[in-house]
Structure 1
Amino acid sequence: MNTAARTSGSATHRRVISVLAGGAVVLLALTGCFGSGPSGTATPGSTTAPASTTAPVRGATADAVAQVVQKAMTTDSLKAVIVRVTIGDKVVAMQAFGDSMTGVPATTDMHFRNGAVAFEYVSTLLLEYVDEGKITLDDTIDKWMPTLPEAKTVTLKMLTNQTTGYPDFETDPGWTAAYNADPFHEFTFDERVKDAFNRPLQFAPGTNWSYSHTNFMILGHILSMIGGAPLDQLLQKKVLGPMGLTQTAAYDTATIPEPVLHAFSSERRVALGVPPSMPFTEESTFWNPVWGTPIGAAETTTITDMTTTAVAVGTGKLLSSKSFHAMTDSTLIGFGTALPACAGSCFTQVDGYNYGLGVVRSGSWQLQNPLLSGYSATEAYLPSQKIAIAVATTFLPGAFDENGNYDNASDRLFREIGAVLAPNDPPPIAAKKK
């Protein structure tokens, strides 16, 4: 889900989303959205044909997907790529390329961060409670958190579709400085609330759209109050388990289960005062990710669970028809305006990028595409053809600019693969950020 966003010197978490508006390519840098910029030590052969670990999937489709990935490995300076594609019940491609660490090949069973994919799980839990008659999307949040700004106006739906006007704590200069100083720090709920509301609301609730981690942080807290249990327990019982996810779990530390897809980053280059002329990367695998998701929703996953998620969310497996459409329909196209108060994160929703309830819509495709701490990952689903695509990537030094910024290569790869598999209904393709 992302241009006036922060640079590495003032803010480290940015993901770039490219969308098509009126036929023109528009590059949107939405602050946060679980964004970062990783890099890794170059491995032998990394600038030529990458090594790969292949699952037992063969055929023309798998070969076509592999060709797309192998080209991107060079053009996007990727250290590792893991990809899985399903059509209906059939796995048509599943393969890992490159190295997790120097001399350690990436494999298809490796775990990685899933970032904002958790927003889909949180939104699903919300809508399950709606289907059960416990709440409505129009309930105002003063029922649970009456001291928050505009609590009698802000609704559960506004939290979920990013229209509250609440500032993103992740864009607060104090928060950014603290993160750059110690990426292993665990930011508490109270710390994040304080940093979020150091500044006034960006706009009146419901009058504009702006991506803010604050919204889902608050939503997750409220859902734990509604469910009467910690969020991670509620998600496991009511979402992850019923979806059939066996390798997706939340942690309140930087834990990643073995085997691990390692990530590398140069995003702190400016903050640490490293000159552009000096080579600089650092391993970011175990930076604490408990900052961008609600407490209890900082998760790790695998490429198989990512495609399973794409299908479950894309078909509304756990929801009523009404709630499924509320979650995934493109209802915000044409809504939203760029404002100075939310520069870089507020803009008019277009066909190439529009937000549902925790779900991104791009053309006919439904997806989430997090970028954080050296990882990029995208899972997407095309309902009409039952195509699910999941891609996870890590990066070589060449992926980063002189300030440590980088693009979401997994999103671009998904779009290129989608164009091959669904030429009559491809994802909108956007140009690589210069």
Structure 2
Amino acid sequence: MKPLRIRLRRTCVAAAAASVLIAPVTAGAAYGAPAPPRSAPYAAPSPDPDGEFARLTPAVAEKLDAAVRQTMRETKVPGVIVGLWAPGKGSYVRAFGVADQATGARMKPGLSMRIGSETKTFTVTALLRLVDRGKVALDDPIGKYVAGVPNGDSITLRQLAGMRSGLYNYSEDPDFDKALQTRAEQPFTPEQLLAYSFKHPVQFAPGERFEYSNTNLILVGLVLEKVTGRPLREIITQEVLKPAELRHTLFPRGAEFPEPHAQGYTVQPASGEVVDATDWNPSWAWAAGAMVSTLEDLRSWARTLATGTLLEPATQAERLKTTPIGIPGAGYGLGIFDVEGWIGHNGSIPGYESLTVYLPQARAAMVVLLNTDVLKDGKEPSAFFGEALTSIVTPAHVYPAEHPAAPSTR
């Protein structure tokens, strides 16, 4: 069983500075994030009825600062951007460390970052919007749209979005890994990615259990293109980013990366050499992990995603039906997880990690963005930050870091 710390791939990185850029704690929303559309079908609970979220006073902010600095020392993360927001409790927005090790440029809250597997939340949302319009059905077999898929007549779109297809994860294939190492800045096609998966036998019968596989989302992306007749980048832009008013989030055509952005650092496994992965072409992750975003856009997206703003209530209810994933207090729905009440997703791609989650009881959002994807004792560094922050602000809903990351793809 693959645990929660789900990754596109796994790398290491050298230690870096942990200096801090301080941003003020305010009594309300910070940095002017765009509000989600007001037509949400979601009926939110009363704000923080049971003291679910600590008031973000200067004293609490000092504790959070100390916790982030300590976590940076332990994980050796070069730079991190952190945001916490809850109505009536204030906000906490900080950027710590360096965005560029070569120049020493400081990390800043407004930088663009690659978000890896958080892309899945956008891809599946686009699919569910087609479900709402009757263009596809969750229980349609993938074989209806894409030929040549093993068990294609039995695997449903629901099982793909929920990681229960049984298809081999292409990003764990040794030949794929070798190809990525030799052509990191070159494009991959979805068909090439599927070929790495389909040469392996299926891992289990469709629907039998949860097993995270990036192959599932490549197929969902192809379904979106087949049904709409449009490229995936355009679909996500028109169906998700524009309705959600996310002006600084994009699905890149290639390796483009809006300025200003942080440099991302990873390690080549064969040599152990620290390398700058900023300009690696994310096409190899495509519908599973290619996107770029910012702290403020992800703050807005956390609520939109968790509350179903862009979907019909019944469709959002289907999305939030989770399958146990072998971790107490955690389950996976349709391109979304619920971990100790925090709803959202994490992401990891060479050079970057992210965590975007929402706690409905407190109407609280948490976003963490890192410019490295090094593991700490086999665990995701983003999860260490999630645990450190939630231990202070939501002790009844601590995001756990104790479980190991998924096995290395290298």
Counterpart check, 1:284 vs 2:285: no
Q: Which amino acid aligns with 2:9?
A: G
Give the direction of change, closer, same or farther, for the CA distance of 1:298–1:419 in structure 2 (3 Å limit): same
Residue number in structure 2 paired with 1:161? 162
- Shift in Å, 1:17: 4.0
Percent pairwise identity: 26
Residue number in structure 2 paired with 1:390? 367
Q: Distance in 2 between matches of 1:129 and 1:400?
A: 37
Q: Distance in 1 between matches of 2:152 and 2:321?
A: 26
Residue number in structure 2 paired with 1:52? 20
Say if 1:265 and 1:282, in contact at 8 Å, map to a contact too. Answer: yes
- Shift in Å, 1:144: 1.1
Say if 1:138 and 1:157, in contact at 8 Å, map to a contact too. Answer: yes
- Shift in Å, 1:243: 1.4
- Shift in Å, 1:41: 6.7
Say if 2:383 and 2:399, in contact at 8 Å, map to a contact too. Answer: no
Give the direction of change, closer, same or farther, for the CA distance of 1:199–1:248 in structure 2 (3 Å limit): same
Q: Distance in 1 between matches of 2:177 and 2:147?
A: 27
Say if 1:119 and 1:358, in contact at 8 Å, map to a contact too. Answer: yes
SS at match of 2:316: helix
Say if 2:298 and 2:367, in contact at 8 Å, map to a contact too. Answer: yes
- Shift in Å, 1:97: 0.5
Q: Which amino acid aligns with 2:371?
A: T
Q: Which amino acid aligns with 1:79?
A: P
Q: For residues 25-174 of structure 1, what are the structure 2 equivalents within 5 Å?
A: 33-39=7-13, 42=16, 46=17, 50-58=18-26, 59-60=57-58, 61-88=60-87, 92-102=91-101, 103-174=104-175
Post-superposition Cα deviations, 1:260-314, rounded to whole Å, max 9, x if no partner, equal 1111111x232x4x5xxxxx3111111111112328x621111111211111111
Say if 1:364 and 1:382, in contact at 8 Å, map to a contact too. Answer: yes
**Residue among 314, 323, 328 paired with 2:320:** 328
Q: Distance in 2 between matches of 1:85 and 1:352?
A: 22
Residue number in structure 1 paired with 2:40? none
Residue number in structure 1 paired with 2:231? 230
Q: Distance in 2 between matches of 1:303 and 1:428?
A: 22
- Shift in Å, 1:170: 1.0
Say if 2:68 and 2:388, in contact at 8 Å, map to a contact too. Answer: no
- Shift in Å, 1:189: 1.4
Q: Distance in 2 between matches of 1:182 and 1:418?
A: 39
Residue number in structure 2 paired with 1:175? 176
**Residue among 375, 394, 397 paired with 1:422:** 394
Q: Distance in 2 between matches of 1:293 and 1:189?
A: 7
SS at match of 1:96: strand
SS at match of 2:146: coil
TM-score by length of 1: 0.80
- Shift in Å, 1:242: 1.4
Say if 2:79 and 2:370, in contact at 8 Å, map to a contact too. Answer: yes
SS at match of 1:104: coil
- Shift in Å, 1:67: 2.0
Give the direction of change, closer, same or farther, for the CA distance of 1:91–1:223 in structure 2 (3 Å limit): farther
**Residue among 335, 339, 350 paired with 1:362:** 339
- Shift in Å, 1:431: 6.1
Residue number in structure 2 paired with 1:269? 269
Q: Which runs of 5+ in 2 are unaligned?
A: 27-56, 406-410
Say if 2:68 and 2:385, in contact at 8 Å, map to a contact too. Answer: yes
SS at match of 1:369: strand
Q: Distance in 1 between matches of 2:328 and 2:353?
A: 22
Give the direction of change, closer, same or farther, for the CA distance of 1:192–1:89 in structure 2 (3 Å limit): farther
Q: Distance in 2 between matches of 1:233 and 1:162?
A: 24
Give the direction of change, closer, same or farther, for the CA distance of 1:66–1:160 in structure 2 (3 Å limit): same
SS at match of 1:105: coil
Counterpart check, 1:307 vs 2:299: yes
Residue number in structure 2 paired with 1:408? 380
Q: Distance in 2 between matches of 1:329 and 1:204?
A: 20
SS at match of 2:79: strand
- Shift in Å, 1:89: 8.0
Post-superposition Cα deviations, 1:12-35, rounded to whole Å, max 9, x if no partner, equal xxxx746xxxxxxxxxxx5xx323
- Shift in Å, 1:406: 6.0
Q: Which amino acid aligns with 1:210?
A: E
Q: Distance in 2 between matches of 1:146 and 1:283?
A: 38
- Shift in Å, 1:130: 1.4
Post-superposition Cα deviations, 1:55-75, rounded to whole Å, max 9, x if no partner, equal 333543433322221111111
- Shift in Å, 1:400: 6.3
Give the total of aligned pairs. 372
Residue number in structure 2 paired with 1:7? none
Residue number in structure 2 paired with 1:339? none
Q: Distance in 2 between matches of 1:179 and 1:90?
A: 45
Q: Distance in 2 between matches of 1:41 and 1:159?
A: 38
Say if 2:14 and 2:76, in contact at 8 Å, map to a contact too. Answer: no
- Shift in Å, 1:81: 0.8
Q: Distance in 1 between matches of 2:14 and 2:114?
A: 17
Residue number in structure 2 paired with 1:318? 310
Say if 1:138 and 1:155, in contact at 8 Å, map to a contact too. Answer: yes
Q: Distance in 1 between matches of 2:113 and 2:401?
A: 26
Give the direction of change, closer, same or farther, for the CA distance of 1:152–1:387 in structure 2 (3 Å limit): same
Say if 1:351 and 1:361, in contact at 8 Å, map to a contact too. Answer: no
Give the direction of change, closer, same or farther, for the CA distance of 1:199–1:85 in structure 2 (3 Å limit): same
Greater strand proportion:
1
Q: Distance in 1 between matches of 2:387 and 2:139?
A: 34
Say if 1:116 and 1:293, in contact at 8 Å, map to a contact too. Answer: no
Q: Distance in 1 between matches of 2:209 and 2:4?
A: 19
Residue number in structure 2 paired with 1:202? 203
- Shift in Å, 1:140: 1.3
- Shift in Å, 1:432: 7.3
Q: Distance in 2 between matches of 1:395 and 1:154?
A: 35
SS at match of 1:249: coil
